[in-house]
Chain A
């Protein structure tokens, strides 16, 4: 009873948020009231999720007047997990929005529209994971796409924003077409649009239909999740939106696509052939390695984070793919380990990517630039933002004892056992290579975030913007601190999440969750069966970290308190300036050269031709990286343009000719209808 009331309360709060945005023409009131409603609504969603996990699945049927009819809502454990992901990240982001969106106060009604859309966006996110009816799902999925489209398009007068929003809406609709196809193929068999009957119908599907459903879901949800090569909208749209919206889009919205994939592969389709998993893993590898490579090359802080989301979706898909393979091979326990890794990473990524986007937003707020080459030295001007951003960077680089480490560790374990499920030497090599590739991804991610944090926050400011930066507002710092706290807690105390994973995966076909997470204790997770053992003891790790740090400090103080004097950085005898600092471009250069076959860097050096070649020369250096997959769509693009050219021949503009067309078609239609 309480569970559904909390859900309704959450939805009601969001709707109130939408309405209250327009209630007063005062931007300030709209900001506090509507974002307050959004934060409370997210809190209600988290509470609802807690009640589901504690009290069990709840089925609701809401009767709407025609033509909508009966809409079913099913609050099961999978929905609850994603509800809590949305709620936790959404709550922090909504509080952050109160401080951050002040920047847009001058925009008047447009500002109010943004606040309203923000609430509508959250409403659609919550509904996407809770409705269990095909038609309703499509409606709320579209609501999510449209509200986020308008939010991306908010600064449409800025160069690139409109284009970004256009690419986003096109890609997301291509995705939706595939999602609808997947649903309809299932619903046709089931004869019903209710999710429950879809799951039952999937058992009777012929092989090819089942494969088609699998592929359509993968393409459809994959476009939303941003897997390569369907990612092209993501690095454009996420940076274009206001930072609190980017946090929500990158941290939460792309997770709804993972929810869709989980719904299809865990709930509807059941156990499939092993090549499903192999395909998912192949896409995952491309996404994670290329995503992080492009992230490492970026200087735009928000684009860097967006590409890093592509990488993290890849890591999530690695777990899912391994889970599909294990399930296909009848290794239920390992399947649970792999799916658990994927879901844990969903939660972790939602937390630290929202945190990092909020940090990037704080930097943007006080310096008005996203280009890290123009930043630097912010750690002294924005100490708290720097600290929280560093925590997020450490978590996303999977450093222990932060939460990213736990999910990365689980993924490593799942991939390590993959050779056991595969046949032959090639299967073994395939499985082991994946571990190496995940290691490569991890190392690149570490380099990427050393660069992102180091160049943005450390050393001396490189521009007047960075010099005059001020610490962000308290309403922006507090939610970042909250998420940092979660990063540490979920890193040191993973057991609650393991218990949730056990509940979620218990019902899934081909997944044996009870055995996998059977021996969780407050200090450890143990996966044990025959040869397979894996355990992780975070308290022991924490104790070890403390002890090791203690040894270091003791050594430092071995001979008493030292004297630390200040001396300027040595720069071969000249006065150091910010121009001597290592740049982001320089930092990533070795990787850029080593991977130049993939990255195809192009550089352009312009030398000012002064009459005297030894004095007063000006050099301008420009480097660009082309995303190889931006070429991927070129044939489709030209195809559409050619088709349009061809159509132009028919479209002459003469009314008589059009009447002729209509007559001819009518005659043809009549003829056909009499024949059949």
Chain B
């Protein structure tokens, strides 16, 4: 019974993350436009884009196989499942749900037979090789304290001891991971798919219509999942004794601030060369190790 409720809570959570994810993307985009003195799209533009894409027909290359058709569903399901696991799941499970989506999307990138897609897939898997160990290290700074890799226990442990030096190191390290995982500058550029920035957007170049809509939505969900991990595990600051409604608003406020920080990072840095990324991730890894030792 208890299990059933936790599963149902997880699913409800996943649906609300799915609903809110494009809004966060919209906020980041609008803030970025503001910071760059542009008149950008409204914050709801991401929704309009998604629903427009979900209405459109698709053009598919005759070179592709069923892998190409299947991949968007798996990518979406991986992100949605990860969102459902946030409240009651296991850390490794969440990571491997996202890994499954990435695996199939990278396969699909090779399927159309163009060099652009393959380049995107290759780089995505490369970035993942750098990100995954650091992600695990930084997550373990919380998990070691919790004595468990269950996300609920980790969130409890984080909330119990919110302000300490190791946490600041870990938070910076996770912010770097967050930037890389959501495909943002300086690691990737979410707005273009030119050769230089050809990572995630290069990988999905051959998609159009509804499948592209699914992929965009899944990417937005994945980004919000990482923002939520960041706000609940690494900046778990919260005044004591808040009523549930106020606590919810507080949480939303933290997400908003994180989104603003992402926009600020993206405006104030340059896209770095692909082979500078290992050093960037290495810095995050060092910070994560420092956080572990300092505990």
Q: State the A residues within 8 Å of B (CB).
A: 376, 379-380, 390, 394, 397-400, 405, 408-409, 412-413, 416, 419, 425, 428-429, 432-433, 435-440, 442-444, 446-447, 449-451, 453-455, 457-460, 531-537, 540-541, 543-545, 547-549, 551-553, 555-556, 558-559, 562-571, 576, 578, 580-583, 586-591, 593-594
Return chain A residues, CB-CB under 8 Å to B135. 439
Q: Tell me the complex Cα distance, A544–B140, Å.
A: 25
B63 CB–A CB distance under 8 Å:
yes
Are B54 and A559 within 8 A (Cβ)? yes
Return chain B residues, CB-CB under 8 Å to A429. 289, 292-293
Are B92 and A412 within 8 A (Cβ)? yes
CB contact between A444 and one of B78, B129, B149 (< 8 Å): that residue? B129
Q: Tell me the complex Cα distance, A412–B126, Å.
A: 22
- The distance from the CB of A331 to the nearest CB of chain B, in whole angstroms, is 14
* Interface SS, A side: helix
Q: Residue of B at shortest CB range from A402?
A: B100
Return chain A residues, CB-CB under 8 Å to B66. 379
- The distance from the CB of B118 to the nearest CB of chain A, in whole angstroms, is 2
Q: Tell me the complex Cα distance, A4–B293, Å.
A: 55
Are B76 and A428 within 8 A (Cβ)? no
Q: Tell me the complex Cα distance, A442–B132, Å.
A: 8
Are B149 and A413 within 8 A (Cβ)? yes
Q: Which residues in window 60-84 of B have CB below 8 A to A? A: 60-63, 65-67, 72-74, 76-78, 80-81, 84
Are B111 and A591 within 8 A (Cβ)? no
Q: Tell me the complex Cα distance, A446–B131, Å.
A: 13
Given contacts A582-B110, A582-B122, contact A547 B11 (CB under 8 A): yes
- The distance from the CB of A438 to the nearest CB of chain B, in whole angstroms, is 8
- 4 nearest A-B residue pairs (beta carbon): A582-B118, A459-B113, A548-B77, A454-B110
Q: Tell me the complex Cα distance, A274–B10, Å.
A: 41
Q: State the B residues within 8 Å of A (CB).
A: 3, 7, 10-11, 14, 18, 54-63, 65-67, 72-74, 76-78, 80-81, 84-85, 90, 92-93, 95-97, 99-100, 102-103, 106-107, 110-115, 117-119, 121-123, 125-126, 128-137, 140, 143-144, 147-150, 153, 205-206, 209-211, 213-214, 217, 274-275, 278, 285, 289, 292-293
Are A555 and B57 within 8 A (Cβ)? no
Are B122 and A588 within 8 A (Cβ)? yes
Are A570 and B150 within 8 A (Cβ)? no
Known: A400-B93, A436-B137, A552-B214; 5 extra A-B contacts, CB below 8 A, are A416-B149, A450-B125, A460-B63, A531-B148, A540-B3
Given contacts A537-B3, A540-B3, A544-B84, contact A439 B133 (CB under 8 A): yes
Given contacts A536-B93, A551-B76, A568-B62, contact A531 B147 (CB under 8 A): yes
CB contact between B103 and one of A397, A433, A458, A555 (< 8 Å): that residue? A397
CB contact between A459 and one of B111, B131, B134 (< 8 Å): that residue? B111
Given contacts A454-B110, A533-B148, contact A551 B128 (CB under 8 A): no
Return chain B residues, CB-CB under 8 Å to A453. 107
Are B77 and A549 within 8 A (Cβ)? yes
- The distance from the CB of B129 to the nearest CB of chain A, in whole angstroms, is 4
Q: Tell me the complex Cα distance, A602–B171, Å.
A: 40
Return chain A residues, CB-CB under 8 Å to B85. 544
What are 14 A-B contacts defined by CB distance under 8 Å?
A394-B103, A398-B99, A429-B293, A447-B106, A447-B125, A450-B107, A458-B65, A534-B148, A548-B77, A552-B77, A569-B206, A581-B118, A583-B118, A590-B122
CB contact between B80 and one of A398, A435, A552, A582 (< 8 Å): that residue? A552
Q: Tell me the complex Cα distance, A578–B11, Å.
A: 44
Given contacts A399-B96, A594-B278, contact A567 B121 (CB under 8 A): no
Are B118 and A586 within 8 A (Cβ)? yes
Are B114 and A436 within 8 A (Cβ)? no
Given contacts A429-B293, A440-B132, contact A556 B214 (CB under 8 A): yes
Are B118 and A435 within 8 A (Cβ)? no
Return chain B residues, CB-CB under 8 Å to A428. 144, 292-293
Q: Residue of A at shortest CB range from B143?
A: A416
Are A582 and B210 within 8 A (Cβ)? no
Return chain B residues, CB-CB under 8 Å to A576. 63, 113-114
CB contact between B275 and one of A419, A442, A544, A593 (< 8 Å): that residue? A593
Q: Tell me the complex Cα distance, A397–B107, Å.
A: 13
- The distance from the CB of B273 to the nearest CB of chain A, in whole angstroms, is 11
Are B55 and A458 within 8 A (Cβ)? no
Are A454 and B111 within 8 A (Cβ)? yes
CB contact between A409 and one of B55, B92, B144, B213 (< 8 Å): that residue? B92
Return chain B residues, CB-CB under 8 Å to A433. 137, 289
Q: Tell me the complex Cα distance, A272–B291, Å.
A: 33
Q: Tell me the complex Cα distance, A621–B109, Å.
A: 25
Q: Tell me the complex Cα distance, A435–B135, Å.
A: 10
Are B285 and A436 within 8 A (Cβ)? yes
Given contacts A416-B140, A459-B112, A567-B61, contact A586 B122 (CB under 8 A): yes
Q: Residue of A at shortest CB range from B79?
A: A548
Q: Tell me the complex Cα distance, A437–B217, Å.
A: 31
Are A590 and B126 within 8 A (Cβ)? yes
Given contacts A409-B92, A569-B206, contact A559 B60 (CB under 8 A): no
Return chain B residues, CB-CB under 8 Å to A398. 96, 99
Q: Residue of A at shortest CB range from B137?
A: A436
Are A436 and B113 within 8 A (Cβ)? no
Return chain A residues, CB-CB under 8 Å to B130. 594
Q: Tell me the complex Cα distance, A86–B3, Å.
A: 38
CB contact between A594 and one of B61, B121, B275 (< 8 Å): that residue? B275
Are A565 and B58 within 8 A (Cβ)? yes
Given contacts A454-B106, A576-B114, contact A591 B126 (CB under 8 A): yes
Q: Residue of B at shortest CB range from A556?
A: B210
Return chain A residues, CB-CB under 8 Å to B121. 450, 454, 582, 587
Are A432 and B129 within 8 A (Cβ)? no
Q: Tell me the complex Cα distance, A409–B149, Å.
A: 11
Q: Tell me the complex Cα distance, A455–B106, Å.
A: 11
- The distance from the CB of A620 to the nearest CB of chain B, in whole angstroms, is 20
Return chain B residues, CB-CB under 8 Å to A591. 125-126, 129
Are B148 and A580 within 8 A (Cβ)? no
Are B59 and A567 within 8 A (Cβ)? yes
Q: Tell me the complex Cα distance, A428–B111, Å.
A: 43
Are A447 and B214 within 8 A (Cβ)? no
CB contact between B100 and one of A400, A409, A435 (< 8 Å): that residue? A400
- The distance from the CB of B255 to the nearest CB of chain A, in whole angstroms, is 22
- The distance from the CB of B82 to the nearest CB of chain A, in whole angstroms, is 9
CB contact between B110 and one of A440, A459, A531, A571 (< 8 Å): that residue? A459
Q: Residue of A at shortest CB range from B68?
A: A458
Return chain A residues, CB-CB under 8 Å to B148. 531-534
Are A409 and B54 within 8 A (Cβ)? no
Q: Tell me the complex Cα distance, A499–B207, Å.
A: 46
Given contacts A379-B65, A439-B133, A552-B76, contact A446 B57 (CB under 8 A): no
Q: Residue of B at shortest CB range from A530?
A: B147
Return chain A residues, CB-CB under 8 Å to B144. 419, 428, 432
Q: Tell me the complex Cα distance, A398–B149, Å.
A: 18
